[in-house]
Chains A and B, each alone.
Chain A
Amino acid sequence: MGPLTRLWGARGWMLLGGFAAVTLVVIPLLRLLPPDHALYLSDYYVLLIGKIMCYALVALAMDLVWGYAGILSLGHGLFFALGGYAMGMYLMREIGTEGQYQSHLPDYMVFLDWKEFPWYWAGSEYFWLAVLKVVLVPGLLAYVFGWFAFRSRIKGVYFSIITQALTFACMLLFFRNDTGFGGNNGFTDFKRILGFSLAEPTTKTALFMVTGLFLIGTLLLCRWLVTSKFGRVLAAIRDAEGRAMFSGYNTRDYKLFVWTLSAVLCGIAGALYVPQVGIINPSEMSPANSIEIAVWVAVGGRGSLVGPLLGAGLVNGAKSWFTVAFPDFWLYFLGALFIGVTLFLPKGVMGLRDRWRRSKS
C-alpha cells in the first residue's frame, strides 16, 4: 500500500482535489472579475467562507482529541483566541502611528496613559516572531496544562470541566484593562499585514487562499496521523485506556502529544481568522464559544475527518442565516441541535450517510 493510497482511495483524493481547485483556483479567479459582474464573489462571501474554513480548522483539531483520543475539551476556544491575539499584537504594531491618537502605541494604551509597551510586547513588530508565538503560546500552555492533567489521570467530565474553567479564567484575565491586551474591546482597526492593506480585495483573496491551503494541509496531516500506527494507539486509548496502558503503551505521552498538536492547530486557525475578520476580543474565550466547537464536531460526526468540516460548515452557515432571519430563535435552534444530535445522531451527519449506505446494500 503506497503512502498516498493509505490516506484515501481514488474518490477521496478526487474530492480533496476538487476542494483545492475551488478554494485555490476558482474562487480567486472569480475575484478577478469586475465587481459588477454577475459571477463576482463579493467581500462578504469571501469573508464568510474564509471564516468558516478557520472554524473547520478548529473543528479538525477538536476532532483529533475528541473523536480519536476521547478527550472532550471545553477550552479549545482559548487556544484559538491565543493564536489570534499573537497575530493581533503584530497587526496592532502594523497600524503604526495611524491610530486615533497618532501615537506609536495602540489607542487603548494611550487611553490608559501608558508611556511605553509592556515587556511582553517586545518584538511584536516582527512577523516571524508573531508566527512563532502563534505556534508556541497555545502549544506551551496546552503542554503544561496537559502534562499536569494527564499525569494525575484526570479524564472524562473532570477534564472537560477543568478545561472550561481554564478558558473562563483566561477570559476574565483578558477582560482586565491592566493585562495589556485592550480589555473588553480587544484588538481591532487593523490597517495592514506585511505592508499590504487589509482593505484591499487582493489582500482578502490572498488571506482566503492561505487559509484554504492551511486547511488542506491540516486535513492531510490529520489523515496521515490517524491512519498511522499512532492513530491506532490513540483509538485504543479512547476505547480502553486501561488495556492500552497494560499493553505497554505510555498513554500519557500519546495524549499529551495529540492534545498539544490540537492546541497548536487551533492557534494557527485563530491567527488566520483575525486578519480576515479584523477583530479579536476576550469573548472568543467564553465557555459558550468553546462548547460550540464541540457541537460542530458532534453534528458532523466525530471520529471521521470529513465530519467536522461538514459540521463547522453546516452549523456556521445556519448561524449566519438564522442570526439575520430570526435572531431570537438562533439559541433555540442551537440548543435543539445540541440535544437532537446527541440523542438521535450520535455519529452525526456522517453516521446518517453510513446508515443510508447500509440500507441500500
Chain B
Amino acid sequence: MLWLLGIAPAAQALDAAAVKQLAAEDSDSKLEAINKLVTSGDTAALPIFKALQDDVLQVYQGRVVISTDTGVRDALTGEVIDVAGATPEGIVINNRIRGALDSAIASLQLLAPDRAARLAAAKAVALDANAEMLPLIQRAVAQETDAEVKALLAQASAAIELKSPDAARRRLAVQQLALSENPQTKQMLGALLEKGADGAFAEPDAGVRDEARKAIAAIDSRFVLPQVLGTMFYGLSLGSVLLLAALGLAITFGLMGIINMAHGEMLMIGAYTTYLVQLLFRQYFPGAFDAYIVVAVPAAFLVSGLVGVALERGVIRHLYGRPLETLLTTWGISLILIQLVRTLFGAQNVEVENPAWMSGGFALGGDVVLAYNRVVIVFFAAFVVFLVWLLLNRTRLGLYVRAVTQNRGMADCMGIPTPRVDALTFGLGSGIAGLGGVALSQIGNVGPDLGQSYIVDSFMVVVLGGVGQLAGTVIAAIGLGEINKFLEPYAGAVLAKIIVLVFIILFIQKRPQGLFALKGRTVEA
C-alpha cells in the first residue's frame, strides 16, 4: 500500500520536461520522452499520446498543445490558448514512434480506472509483451483488484520473464504460465523445447525444460475435457444437419424405393425461402426482425413440401418401378431448379442474417466456443425428429405410410389410397428438407449449389441407416457427424470423408440392409 501511495503524487502532475521533450526534433529523444511518461505510470499521459498518434499534438510558442475542435489547449494544464489565427507547428512522428506509442498506450491503459479498458489492455499485453513494459505490468499486477485482469497480467509478466537471463526466474515464469487459461501459452512453452538449427534447445537449462514439459502436460490435461466436449458437440451439430438433410430422403426411399437426386435442392429452396422471409421482415417489420425465423420455419416447410408434391404428381409417379431412371430424372429436375434459382436470385451467395438471439456463443473453456446457432439447430433437429415420429406412429397417415412401406401390394388391396400416400409422403420428405434448409441458412452460405454439397453425405446416411427406419437414420446421421469431427484433427476434413466412405463400404459388407433392416419377407424381386 505504501508503494501505491508512492506513485500517487506522480498522478497529479505530469513530468513537464518529458512532455516538452516529445516535441524534440530527433526520434530518439521522443522515444525517451515516451518511455519516461510510461514509466511514471500516469494515465494523464494517455490523451497526449493519443493526440500524438492522431497528429494533433502541436507546438505553439514553446508550449506543447493539443488542437481540438473547440480550440487549442495546453497539453499539460488543459488551459485554452488563444492562438489568434496563427497555426501551431505540428509534431512529426515516424513508424518507429507509432509502434512505441501503441504499446505505451496499451501499457498505460493497464492502470485505467475503467475495468473494460484494463481488460482489453491486459489481453493485448498478454499476447505481445516486451521487456520494457515489465516494471509497469508488475505495478499493475500489484494494484489490480479484478481477478480476470490480474491473471492475464501475471501471464504477461511471466511471458516476459521467460526471456530473463536468470534460469531461476525463467523457471518461476514457466510455473506461472502452467496456470494460464489461454491456450496460446502452450505454444509459448512449446517453443522452449524446440531445437534450433545448431541442434541446441531454445531453452539452455534442462531444469526449466523439464518444468516446461510438466506445464504443457498440465495445460493439456485441463483442456482435454472442453476439447473433447467441444468436438462431440460439433459432431452432434454436423450430425443434426445431416439428419435434417437425410430424414426426408430416408422416408421417401423406404416408401417408394426411389432416390430423389433433387432432394438437395429442397434444402436449397428452404434456405432461399428463409432468405425471402428475412428480407420481408427487414422491409416491413424491422422491429420484429429477430422473430423472422418463427415464420421462416413453416414457410420453408410449405414451399419445399409443395414443390415436392408437384414433382411427385408431375414426374415421378410416371416412373414407379424404374428406380434407375428416376435417379436420372430427378437429377435433371435438380439441374433445372439450380439454374432457375440462379436466374431468379443470381449466381452469388445471398446473405441470411442470424437473429440476434442466435449469434454469439458459450465458452466452454480454452478456445472452445459453442455457437448458439448450432445449439439451436441440435434442438431443432431433435424437435423435428419427434414430430416425424409422432406423425408416423400416432396418425392415420403414418399408419398408411408404414403399411405401404412394408408391403405396397397388400396395402393397396386393403384399400389404402397408395397414390395419395405417395404424394403426401413425398411432400413430407421434401418439407423436412425445407426445414433443413432453414437450419443451413443459419450456419453457412446460401447459394444455388447449397444442396449439392449435402446430397452425397445424406445418401450415405440413408445407406448406413437402412431404409424407412427413423432410429437407423438418426443413429447413422449422428454417428457419421461424430466420426467426421473426431477424425478431422488427425486426418484433415477431406481424408476424414474418404475414411468414412471406406468405412461405409466395408460396413455394408456385413449388413447390406443398413443398421436396422426391416424384418420380414422383403426380399427384392
**A→B interface (CB under 8 Å):** 66, 72, 74, 145, 148-149, 151-154, 156-158, 160-162, 164-166, 168-169, 172-173, 175-176, 287, 291, 294-295, 298, 328, 331-332, 334-339, 341-343, 346
Contacts and interface: CB of A to CB of B under 8 A. Distances in A.
Contacts of A287: 456
A72 B327 CA distance: 10
B460 interface: yes
A328 B494 contact: no
B339 A331 contact: yes
A291 B331 contact: yes
B459 A161 contact: yes
Given A148-B509, A169-B498, A173-B494, A343 B323 contact: no
Contacts of A157: 253, 257-259, 323-324, 327
A335 B336 contact: yes
A152 to B, nearest CB: 5
A169 B426 CA distance: 29
Contacts of B8: none
Contacts of A298: 325, 328
B259 A172 contact: no
A168 B460 CA distance: 12
Contacts of A291: 328, 331
A15 to B, nearest CB: 28
Given A158-B508, A294-B328, 18 more contacts: A148-B506, A156-B524, A157-B324, A161-B259, A162-B463, A162-B504, A165-B459, A165-B460, A173-B494, A287-B456, A331-B338, A335-B332, A335-B335, A339-B332, A342-B319, A342-B322, A343-B318, A343-B329
A145 to B, nearest CB: 8
Contact of A339 (B315, B338, B343, B460): B315
What are the 9 tightest A-B residue pairs by CB atom distance, in nearest-first order?
A: A338-B332, A335-B335, A335-B336, A331-B339, A335-B332, A342-B325, A161-B459, A339-B332, A72-B324
Nearest to B343: A328
A154 B332 contact: no
Nearest to A145: B505
B501 interface: yes
Contacts of A295: 328
A331 B319 contact: no
Q: Which of A160, A341, A342 has the most CB of B within 10 A?
A: A342
A72 B331 CA distance: 14
B281 to A, nearest CB: 31
B465 to A, nearest CB: 13
B259 A337 contact: no
Contact of B325 (A153, A164, A331, A346): A346
B509 A152 contact: yes
A44 B308 CA distance: 44
Contacts of B409: none
A332 B339 contact: yes
A160 B327 contact: yes
Interface in B257-275: 257-259
B333 A339 contact: yes
Interface in B451-488: 456, 459-460, 463
A346 B338 CA distance: 25
Nearest to B262: A335
Contacts of B463: 158, 161-162
Interface in B338-353: 338-339, 343
19 contacts: A66-B324, A74-B327, A149-B505, A154-B512, A157-B257, A157-B327, A158-B463, A161-B259, A165-B459, A172-B498, A176-B492, A298-B325, A298-B328, A331-B335, A331-B338, A332-B339, A335-B333, A336-B336, A342-B325
